[in-house]
Structure 1
């Protein structure tokens, strides 16, 4: 009964009760770790589970956790796949000083992402030649030289704001001139990565 009452709190992931002889009971609580905002309707835990924490509280959740929640969208049966893909995508983006803000799997099963700095990435579907991870890796390896060439070419300091990665061995880009560089979430990390490597349970 006590365990059920404690687990009614949406912030509690796990409860362990241990009796210490002769008359002591020790409670150990595991707080639920929130990593993402799912379809603007649910907060997702580190275990990839939908929680009962009110989605309206997500800004307070970010403040409490000291990180930001990646927004993920897609069909409900693909939640675990989208969370895993978000982690891979963010890891590759950090190599070019970007972070993932939003990952979406459309109804046509096409992948799209948005990053810090206002960049949009279009991957297409998993049926395209070359895995999504490989195509993004190819872009991140090319990005430093490409960005340098763009800055040398134009005194307006253009930046890449759209990348089409639906090609097996290449990509297409669109640029725009920098005005006020977006610093949204640049100083914090995704909650998805904050808990990586921490023991659970």
Structure 2
């Protein structure tokens, strides 16, 4: 009889534990369900542009060729999407389509701020009078731009822009080393012959096969040529054993 009572008591304890467990689980599920609904409702609310509007736009960058109007024409139509749904990548890509912009960084700042950092292209040389080389040797073409006389002019076949740029970099480095005047123009003609211009002096370097040799010869003899020929205007280095000047 005693064993039966113990067994019955054990069953009652197990039943109570069972119901406590499942009651606790049910309450926990209800709590999580309420949290999920609250989160869902918040995100639905946050997606509405009027809920978290962008109130401040900060543009940082030293801009010379890119106007405020150009930037506003890209950014302002997108701002009404609101803070959480603002497509920052879209803004970045659209700004990079402006011809003078080289680098764009766009970030949201809680609770209502958009920051835009801009870096403009820095032109180092003109290409065929229409396009420009930036500091990385990349071509870009601003609309209705006229090359400044302060920029070196690079000329060559359309598919030779990279070759001409590399030649210009090589010449610039060598001329700086030897304290030579800065070149004003570098040209590769249809016959693959090279010609460069210094202030008041035109230099014929000859074909690509002799480019490096003639370039080194030029920096070696140029100071003496200028000293001996104060009115020097032309140096022809296409001869294997010497040069002609006039």
Q: Is the 8 A contact 1:74 1:104 kept in 2?
A: yes
**Correspondence 1:75-86 to 2 at 5 A:** 75-86=157-168
Unmatched 5+ stretches in structure 1:
63-67, 152-157, 176-201
Q: Trace 1:79-98 onto structure 2 (pairs within 5 A).
A: 79-94=161-176, 95-98=178-181
**Greater Rg by CA:** 2
CA distance change for structure 1 residues 141 and 70 in 2, over 3 Å: closer, same or farther? same
Residue deviations 1:114-166 (CA, integer Å, cap 9, x gap) = 111x11111111134xxx23322222122223433x26xxxxxx332211222
Instruction: Flag the structure with higher strand content.
Output: 1
**RMSD between superposed Cα atoms in Å:** 2.4
Is 1:164 the counterpart of 2:240 in the alignment? no
- Equivalences for 1:90-169 in 2 at 5 Å? 90-94=172-176, 95-116=178-199, 118-128=200-210, 132-148=211-227, 150=228, 158-168=230-240
Q: Single out whichever of 21-30 and 34-43 deviates more from structure 2.
A: 21-30
TM-score, normalising length: structure 1:
0.66
TM (norm. structure 2) is 0.56
Structure 2, unpaired ranges of 5+: 1-89
* Higher RCO (CA-CA < 8 Å; seq separation 6+): 1
1:64-85 CA-partner distances (Å, limit 9, x unpaired): xxxx211111112211121121
> Hey, which of these two has a bigger chunk of helix by percent?
2
Deviation at 1:167, TM superposition (A): 4.1
Alignment of 1:9-48 (within 5 A): 9-48=98-137
Work out the CA distance in 2 between the residues paired with 1:104 and 1:55.
23
Between the aligned partners of 1:70 and 1:172, the Cα distance in structure 2 is: 25
TM-fit CA distance, 1:96: 4.9
CA contact (8 A) 1:89 1:133 kept: no
For 1:146 and 1:39, the matched residues in 2 are separated by 30
Report 1:45-64 matches (<5 A): 45-54=134-143, 56-59=145-148
Give the Cα–Cα distance (whole angstroms) in 1 for the partners of residues 144 and 219 of structure 2: 33
Q: Secondary structure at the match of 1:160?
A: coil
| Consecutive aligned runs of 4 or more in structure 1 exceeding 4 Å deviation | none
